[in-house]
Chains A and B, each alone.
Chain A
Amino acid sequence: MAHRWKNTLTRADATPMAAYMNRRQIMGGALGLGLIGAAGMARSQDADALVPNSWEDITQYNNFYEFGTGKSDPARNAHTLTTEPWTVVIDGMVDNPGDYSMAQIMDAMTIEERIYRFRCVEAWSMVIPWNGFELADLLTMAGVQDGAKYVAFETALRPDEMPGVRFPVLDWPYVEGLRLDEAMHPLTMMATGIYGKTIPNQNGAPMRLVVPWKYGFKSIKSIVRITVTEDEPPTSWNKSNGREYGFYSNVNPEVDHPRWSQASERVVGGGLFAKRQPTLMFNGYEDEVASLYEGMDLRANY
């Protein structure tokens, strides 16, 4: 069931490793000349001509509070996470519940590349060339039973390997959830790689969710449990502050976060003088996903 969704961004849009190293040097030069504003504008013009962020942007600017709340903390601290062996428990309303080893999952799934926009609730964004498989394929393998309505996810909780969990920034372990139709949507994927390389720990190794039309915090990292349920599962940020973070958390430029506007975003990697760019409805995936929310008040179901 792989390849059900066709990228509008192609491999040609992804910057090859060697080329983006050059690009960085060019940008470094531009920076010195104070031309970075122009570079930032070129970057934000056309959605179809999106340039994926560099490997450095993607792997050194992360929110993964289990490894610290600073943006560079995960890159610094996440090396301690043991990702081999790794087991994912799939349970709840499935025909084949059990412990699935990462190797088992990788054998059964077809890995493909998806270049997606990534929009954080904090109003910054990136473009990321993910490698992974559709979550629908994994759920189909587990056999979703009739009557199931939601899918719950849980991140590993390892105090010995995660310095950030010593303080209750959130109620650990991190948990997230999707409606079943959102989870089965062809855009929804499990990422196991970036730029064709194994996904780094700070990005959620060995397997993390990617839901490109929702704010980044929905895309839970380092998953150890997937539970198919009938009831809406609790989600970490909603538990922490329900007024600010709803269950749906679809990217929506018209519904502000109570503490900041969501109308525009800062593209990571543009430097000091980059222009903000307007945020797109459903992060630019309106054609693909708007039908999931037909008749719903998106302001009430934020």
Chain B
Amino acid sequence: MLVDRINQAARKVPTWTLYIVSMIPVPVLLYMAQTGGLGREPVKALEHELGEIALQLVIVGLCISPLRKFAGVNLIKFRRAIGVVAFIYVVLHLLVWAVLDVQSLDRVVADIIKRPYITIGMAAFVLMIPLAFTSNNMSVRWLGPVWRKLHLLTYPIAILSSVHFIWLSKGFQLEPLVYLTVILGLLALRVPALVKKVAA
């Protein structure tokens, strides 16, 4: 069976390889930004690419448990790493925005306060911080059942991130709406289980 073969292969792949593979786009994007591969104005392009990869990783992370539940594919051991890498991309996205794009601490602060789409993007980032720092075995043991509850923050993070994307787009654009729809779909898959838990 294909599922068994995937699960067997996944067992053999060490988690650290995921960090290596998923960070490959960083040097590639930096190289492209310096050599014209990101177009004539690389700052916005780089900022956008990093943000979009982070959002895609959040979505990949949200796929892990439905994959196990509905398809029997077990990739759970990669889930924490995916979340951490998503966080790294958000940090890079923020750095490019603040340092290369806005170029002024005053204006960064003003934008966070004054511009709602930046406020919610920032909120998503802040919510990610405790998750990134508790994505290790020690924290899982230490927090016990609280860990699972804490990491439910992934759901509002996903929604906030995709709304951030929709909000910053000009006009009525398809791509950011696709992201939100996928995220809402993945969250909807979890509703029956949540309802059962609450009812029990």
* Among A169, A259, A272, contact of B42 (Cβ-Cβ < 8 Å): A272
The interface bits of chain B over 33-63 (1 if a CB of A lies within 8 angstroms of the residue's CB, else 0) are 1110001111111100000000000000000
Known contacts: A259-B168, A261-B107, A272-B34. The answer to whether A57 contacts B100 by CB under 8 A is: no
Q: Is the CB of A169 within 8 A of B40?
A: no
B165 interface hit (Cβ, 8 Å): no
Interface bin, chain A: 20 to 34
B172, CB-defined interface residue at 8 Å: yes
Chain B residue total in the interface (Cβ 8 A): 27
In the complex, what's the smallest C-beta–C-beta distance from B86 to chain A, in angstroms? 23
Closest B residue to A263 by beta carbon equals B107
- Chain A 247-290 interface residues, beta-carbon cutoff 8 Å to B: 258-261, 266, 268-269, 271-276
B67 to chain A, nearest CB (A): 31
Given A65-B171, A69-B171, A169-B171, are A272 and B40 neighbors across the interface (CB < 8 Å)? no
Q: Which residue of B lies closest to A122 (CB)?
A: B170
B103–A275 touching, CB < 8 Å = yes
Cβ A71 vs Cβ B172 within 8 A:
no
Q: Number of A-B pairs whose CB atoms are under 8 Å?
A: 66
- Asked whether B34 lies within 8 Å of A271 as measured between CB atoms, the reply is yes
A272 touches B172 (CB 8 A): no
User: B167 contacts which chain A residues (CB < 8 A)?
Assistant: 259
Cross-interface CB contact of A266 among B41, B111, B170, B173, cutoff 8 Å: B41
**Cβ of B196 < 8 Å from any Cβ of A?**
no
A72 to B39, Cβ gap below 8 A? yes
A276 to B115, CA, bound (A): 19
Q: What are the residues of chain A within 8 A of B179 when measuring CB–CB? A: none
Q: Point out the residue from A57, A69, A240, A273 that lies within 8 Å of B40, measured CB to CB.
A: A57
B107, closest chain A residue (CB)? A261
Asked if B117 is an interface residue, CB under 8 A from chain A, the answer is yes
Residue B174 interfacial (CB < 8 Å): yes
Q: What mask results when residues 49 to 79 of chain A are scored 1 for a CB within 8 Å of chain B, else 0?
A: 0000000110011000100010110000000
The proximity string for B residues 108-140 relative to A, scoring 1 for CB distances below 8 Å and 0 otherwise, is 001100010100000000000000000000000
Say whether B41 contacts A169, CB under 8 Å: no
Is A56 touching B173 in the complex (CB atoms < 8 A)?
Answer: no
* CA of A32 to CA of B33, assembled, Å: 12
Is B115 a contact partner of A259 (Cβ separation < 8 A)?
yes
Q: Which residues of A have CB within 8 Å of B100?
A: 272-273
Closest to B99 in A: A273
A278 CB → nearest B CB, Å = 12
A23 to chain B, nearest CB (A): 14
Residue in B33, B39, B101 whose beta carbon sits within 8 Å of that of A71 in the complex: B39
Contact of A169 among B39, B101, B173 (CB under 8 A): B173
Q: How far is the CB of B42 from chain A (nearest CB, A)?
A: 5
**CB within 8 Å of A: which residues of B?**
33-35, 39-46, 100-101, 103, 107, 110-111, 115, 117, 167-174
**Extra pairs beyond A258-B115, A260-B115, A269-B41 (5, CB < 8 Å):** A61-B39, A71-B39, A169-B173, A170-B172, A259-B115
What are 30 A-B pairs with beta-carbon distances under 8 A? A56-B40, A60-B40, A61-B39, A69-B170, A69-B171, A122-B170, A124-B41, A124-B44, A167-B172, A169-B172, A169-B173, A170-B171, A240-B172, A241-B171, A258-B115, A259-B115, A259-B168, A261-B110, A261-B111, A266-B43, A266-B101, A268-B41, A269-B40, A269-B41, A271-B34, A271-B42, A272-B33, A272-B34, A272-B46, A272-B100
